[in-house]
A and B are shown apart, each in its own frame.
Chain A
C-alpha cells in the first residue's frame, strides 16, 4: 500500500491521543504484523509516552520545598500584602 509506513506512524501517534476507528485499528495492526520498522517505531513512541508519564507521576513524589524556599515565599507574600493593604 502506498505511503504505508508514513501512514502507520501517524496512526501509531494518533492512538496516543484518540481512539482509532475500527478500520484504522485493523489497518495499523495488519501493517505492524508485516513491518518490523513500524513495530519498532510504535514501541519507541509508546516507550516515550511511558517515560513521560512515569516522570510526571513518580519522579517528584518525594520533592518538598526547602526551608529557604519556604522563607522566600513567605517573604514574597508579606511584601505583596503590604503593598496592597
Chain B
C-alpha cells in the first residue's frame, strides 16, 4: 500500500476537513464520525475507481456527500413517522379567501446571533423533527445540507413542482413553529 491509497494517510490529511463537512450538515458529532469512517472505508475499497482526475480530497468529499444524502433518506424513512400522509398544513394557515388566519410577525433578531446559539439550534432541530417524512427529507437535503434542487429531485425521485410544493409546506410549518417556540417566546435562557 503506497501513501496515496492508504486510508490512514487520508484520515491524517483530510480527516478534519471531511469531519467538518459532515458536522456542518448533520450537526451531530457521533454521526459525523460514523459517516467519515464509512467514507474512508468506501474510498479504500473503491480506490481502483479513483481515476485521479480530481484530488483525493474532492473524491472523498463526493463519497461523503452521497453517504449523507443516503443517511437522511433512510434514517427518516426508518422512523415511521406517525403522520405518514403528507397533509397540507399551508391550508390551515389561510382562510377560504387565501388570507392569513394569524398574521406573521416581524422577526427582530439578527441571523449572525442566531446561527451560533446552541439554544436556537435545538429549537430548530425540534421543529424540523416535527415535519412529516417527505417534507423533512427534502427540507434537510435542500436547506440544511444545501444540495441544489436537481439533486434533491433525483434523490427523492420527485418532480421539481412536487419539490416546490413540499418545501413550501415545510417552510411555512417551520416558520410557524419557530415563531411560537422562539421568536414570540421572549427570553431564551
**Interface residue ranges, A against B (CB under 8 Å):** 2-7, 9-10, 13-14, 16-18, 36-38, 40-41, 43-45, 47-61, 63-65, 69-70, 72-74, 76-77, 80-81
Contact = CB atoms under 8 A, between A and B. Distances in A.
Contact of A51 (B7, B100, B114, B163): B114
Contacts of A44: 104, 107, 175, 178-179
A48 B149 CA distance: 18
A70 B11 contact: yes
A50 B111 contact: yes
B54 interface: no
Contacts of A47: 107, 111
A56 to B, nearest CB: 5
Interface residues of B, number: 56
Interface of B: 7-8, 11, 15-16, 19-20, 23-25, 27, 29, 33, 36-37, 40-41, 44, 90-91, 93-94, 97-100, 103-107, 111-112, 114-116, 120-121, 124, 142-146, 149, 160, 163-164, 167-168, 171-172, 174-175, 178-179
Contacts, number: 147
A15 B178 CA distance: 21
A9 B172 contact: yes
B15 A2 contact: no
